[in-house]
């Protein structure tokens, strides 16, 4: 059992830190801090306090939208665009106007910008994204429910974050985070577990390579992630994905050395998947040119995938997404 203690401790410490930060904020605005959001019965972690405006409660647009399976279409200093299937929502800070699939509608109260985060009335936002909304005054809880109680989650770094999943795959939660490493994913794994996903697709390691982490460290963190999910959410099917190599346009790194390490890591991930009896999909190989680099046709900077090239990824995983 000792091999499970470390990842569990990490999650407990992360939770303790979150509680500490929560309590520190609580001194400033106790009424607002008591309010919380749940999604299908699970607490939805929110990075900043909910804001009360009369009978309306404002919440971070990006965080609520992603939890409901939407993607960020764009994010500017004072505006943000959200897309889910055929629905697009465009909010502007300090304005009641919201553009819904090209048509202007009026919010009950203006969107606001707080700590560089744009917030909007959570009922309006959630209902537009297909959720049912209820308010429990006694516990000060906004209860969101969706028809898909066990979502599909993609966990990763900017390669995943930039993946406009709901353009291709409905009702999928994108938990990609720019710059994330296997260590960072461990630190936010509690969000994955609370969602009790039906399937969990993982692609991590590019930033581990960039930051000089050894293959053994990355594989150990992967193993911790998988074991924690298996223990806390045993019904979740886990699918590991290989990472693409760097392209010749990549700057500030020894490309050949880095790609050699990526190749070793991907082989280790495939071996680990067999060891833990989970599926492995070679996504990285699909974007590789004949010389082992990220193909220039699929990237503009040698690291990130062009938006119009994500269909290759979709085609490779679609059968795993659709399978029961």
Burial of 47 (0-12, 13-18, 19+ CB in 10 A): exposed
Per-residue pLDDT, 22 = 38
pLDDT at 173: 80
Compute the distance between CA of residue 119 and CA of residue 117 in angstroms, rounded to an integer: 6
Beta strands per DSSP E along 164-294: 172-176, 199-203, 237-241, 279-281
Global pTM value: 0.63
Cα–Cα nearest to 31, from 137, 103, 171: 137
Parallel, antiparallel, or unpaired: how do β-strands 51-53 and 237-241 relate?
Answer: unpaired
> Higher pLDDT residue, 188 or 230?
230
Structure tokens at 25: 């904020």
Residue-wise pLDDT for 195-225, tens only, equals 788 999 999 999 999 999 999 999 999 999 9
**All structural domains of the chain:** 48-129 (3.30.457.10), 152-322 (3.40.50.1110)
Query: Per residue in 254-265, pLDDT tens?
Result: 999 999 999 999
Residues in the chain: 324
Angle formed by the axes of helices 215-232 and 2-26, nearest 10° = 80
pLDDT for res 20: 44
> In whole angstroms, what separates CA 170 from the centre of its chain?
15
Tell me what percent of the residues of the chain surpass a pLDDT of 90.
62
Per residue in 239-298, pLDDT tens? 999 999 999 999 999 999 999 999 999 999 999 999 999 999 999 999 999 999 999 999
């Amino acid at each position: 059992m000792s091999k499970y203690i470390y990842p569990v401790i990490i999650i407990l410490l992360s939770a303790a830190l979150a509680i500490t930060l929560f309590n520190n904020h609580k001194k400033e605005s106790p009424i607002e801090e008591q309010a919380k959001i749940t999604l299908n019965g699970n607490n939805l972690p929110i990075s900043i306090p909910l804001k009360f405006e009369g009978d309306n409660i404002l919440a971070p647009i990006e965080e609520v939208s992603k939890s409901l399976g939407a993607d960020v279409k764009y994010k500017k200093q004072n505006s943000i665009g959200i897309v889910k299937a055929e629905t697009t929502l465009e909010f502007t800070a300090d304005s009641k106007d919201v553009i819904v699939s090209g048509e202007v509608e009026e919010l009950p109260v203006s969107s606001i910008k707080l700590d560089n985060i744009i917030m909007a009335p959570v009922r309006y936002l959630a209902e537009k994204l297909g959720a049912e909304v209820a308010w429990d005054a006694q516990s000060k809880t906004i209860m969101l429910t969706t028809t898909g109680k066990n979502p599909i989650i993609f966990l990763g770094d900017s390669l995943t974050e930039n993946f406009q999943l709901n353009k291709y795959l409905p009702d999928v939660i994108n938990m990609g985070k720019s710059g994330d490493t296997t260590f960072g994913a461990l630190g936010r794994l509690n969000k994955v577990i609370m969602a009790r996903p039906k399937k969990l697709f993982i692609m991590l390691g590019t930033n581990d390579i960039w930051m000089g982490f050894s293959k053994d460290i990355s594989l150990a963190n992967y193993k911790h992630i998988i074991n924690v999910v298996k223990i806390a959410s045993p019904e979740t099917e886990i699918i590991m994905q290989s990472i693409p190599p760097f392209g010749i346009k990549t700057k500030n790194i020894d490309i050949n050395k880095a790609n050699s390490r990526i190749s070793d890591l991907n082989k280790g991930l495939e071996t680990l998947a067999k060891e833990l009896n989970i599926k492995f999909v070679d996504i990285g190989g699909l974007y590789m040119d004949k010389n082992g680099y990220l193909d220039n046709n699929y990237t503009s900077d040698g690291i990130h995938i062009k938006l119009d090239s994500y269909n290759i990824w979709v085609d490779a995983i679609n059968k795993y997404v659709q399978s029961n």
